[in-house]
Amino acid sequence: MKTVSLTSKNQVTLPAAQVRQAHLKKGTKFTSRWDGKAFILEPEQPLEEMLAEIHAEMRPFIKKPLSDAELQAALHDWPKK
Amino acid sequence: MTGLKNNLTTVDANVLLRLFLNDELIQAKKATVWLARQPASTVLVTDSVLVEVLFQLESKRAYGIERANFMPRLGRALSATAWLLHPVTLEALRIFAATKLDYVDCLLAAMQASGDVSAVATFDKGLQKQLGEAALL
């Protein structure tokens, strides 16, 4: 555990060793929350990475991909079940 | 559309579906690259678009995917920082995932749950059950 200080601009510096340990890169964004006792910083998953995981999980459920024409027709056709 | 910030954009159902399902690679990639460039909370996801998206995901004439199979993942996709969803929309999505109600009914239940309205007049048995004493008629 390391001690860090809060600056007048509400900034803290993450300990370098912990940044390396977490494999964080410059520009990484975090979501921050206060749970009443501790601040929790969670690195955000890059969008492309998150969507790739979702696409892989959804693939088995897509029986038939829709072409552009089919999707447009479905969207213009609804709400016929 | 008064009251909305002019730096907001919004998204059509076809873009949301391609982003989520990746069943048309070129459109999905284009949409992903676009979304990744949007600042946090600047892409409004409207309820009218969600009505279409959720209907097409479940409809046998389109994707025909079970709600339980897509809702957890759609919720995750909608957690991307660029999206902006109204709290009532988030509550409606939560109800949609937990029930068999259609999304419009979920929106009505969410409006009631969020305190926007005190009650809903409906003949729909499923919605009446969801609303409990807040169902009129």
Domain ranges for chain A:
17-77
By the 8 A CB rule, do B61 and A80 touch? yes
Burial class (CB in 10 A: 0-12, 13-18, 19+), B61: middle
Which residue range forms the structural domain that includes residue B39? 7-85
List the beta bridge partners of residue B83: B43
- Averages of pLDDT over runs of 10 residues in chain B (137 residues) are 72 97 95 93 96 95 95 95 94 96 97 95 95 92
Smallest CA–CA distance, residue B130 to chain A, in Å, is 23
Q: Are residues B50 and B23 in the same domain?
A: yes
ipTM above 0.90, yes or no: no
Q: Are residues B11 and B71 in the same domain?
A: yes
Q: Are residues B17 and B33 in the same domain?
A: yes
How many domains is chain B built from?
Answer: 2
pLDDT in tens, A18-48: 998 888 888 888 888 888 889 888 888 889 9
B1 domain residue, yes or no: no
CB pairs under 8 A between A and B: 78
pTM: 0.80
Closest chain A CA to residue B65 = A61
> Given CB atoms, is A67 within the 8 Å cutoff of chain B?
yes
